[in-house]
Amino acid sequence: GYFEDIQNHEQRGADLAVEFLKEQHISAEVRDAVMQVILSTKMPQRPTNLLEDILCDGDLFHLGTEDFTDKRKLMHKEMAMLFSLDLSKSECRLKDIAFLESQHYHTDYCTLLLNDQKQKNIDQLKSKIKNEGANLKPVSLIETSENLSDEKLLPKKDKKRPDKGIETMFRITSSNNQRLSDMADNKAQLLITVNSIILSLIVSLVLRRLEDNAFLIVPTFILLMVSLGAIIFSILATRPSIPAGVFTDNDLERKKVNLLFFGNFYKMALNDYSKGMIKVMNDNEFLYGTLITDVYSQGVVLGRKYKLIRIAYNIFMFGLIAAVLAYIVSYIAYGKLS
């Protein structure tokens, strides 16, 4: 699209992609999705799903790389040739600073991988500006030339938009909580599997032989209780607790409901839930309160889950030691007599 329409290359690129997909007899649903993903890279970027997040981050990936300096110089040369611009190095640097500070990465991967280098690139440009003694206000590249379209190349910072640092904090925190929850579930599943095998072996192999080896009754009973206790606490750790699934208008007015958790709305009608979500999105205080409540609720659930898993592992570890010692003592004390 860039070769055919520099100013609206996203739209032209999307049109070309749709035309190609039509020739390949691709479904309309896929064509629409591809078009939206391409259009999401148009400045200011506003991705709405993971695919768009990934493509938008790929589009601006170079902002957080060490070769950004070389690429920005080439970009300014290209702009000067295309639009007959004659900008000083200081003006170019100020525009780059404005652009870098107005952009942020949307995926956790790029945020963690590139943000530090991106900030270094900004600091490096600011240092050069300071050393040159330049005192120019950063303005968009479009505003310096009447040859370009009226639409600004660089987006203005939306004052209503949440600070990108806050967005990143909530995103990373939720991702970490989800990962910790998955780890806890895997630990519980491992414990359940191991102890289920132990119980099966005890029931199928050991119990039938206790009549002839009565001295093994106590250690076998200990091992049986240990496995059963570990399984019970592991199940308690992973057993879900589901609330009523409804909320009232009074809850919305008091801002006391977390609409990000399915347990608070799964029995509600779609229209009621949509109205509630719109109210949340239109009220920054309600929105941030909901995000805080959601993170806190995840933490409470994680705390309970890990506490129960710790108990289960303690039961298994110390109980297994006790059972093995009991088998050894029973065999030494009574085994030879029998």
Which of 93, 128, 159 is the endpoint of a domain? 159
Cα gap 113→213, rounded to integer Å: 63
Cα gap 310→320, rounded to integer Å: 15
**298 and 222 co-located in one domain:** yes
- pLDDT value at position 240? 87
**Residue 181 within a domain:** yes
**60 and 169 co-located in one domain:** no
Cα gap 28→152, rounded to integer Å: 32
Structurally, how many domains does the chain consist of? 2
Nearest to 331 by CA among 219, 232, 187: 219
The CA-to-CA distance between both ends of the chain, in Å, stands at 89
239 alpha carbon, distance to own chain's centre: 24
- pLDDT value at position 57? 85
Alpha helix positions (H), 148-265? 164-201, 217-238, 249-254
Quote the tokens at residue 208. Answer: 């039938």
**83 and 169 co-located in one domain:** no
**Residue 12 within a domain:** no
| Helix 108-132 vs helix 89-102: crossing angle, to nearest 10 | 150
**319 and 171 co-located in one domain:** yes
| Residue 55 belongs to domain spanning | 40-159
What pTM was estimated for this model as a whole? 0.51
- pLDDT value at position 146? 38
Cα gap 304→158, rounded to integer Å: 40
Which of 159, 194, 228 is the endpoint of a domain? 159
pLDDT digits (tens, 9 = 90+) for 14-31: 888 888 888 888 888 888
- pLDDT value at position 142? 39
- pLDDT value at position 296? 92
The SS3 assignment for 34 reads: helix
H, E, C per residue of 85-112: CCCCHHHHHHHHHHHHHHCCCCCHHHHH
**47 and 72 co-located in one domain:** yes
**Other Cβ atoms closer than 10 A to 155:** 16
Instruction: Flag residues of the chain having pLDDT under 50.
Output: 136-161
Quote the tokens at residue 231. Answer: 């399984």
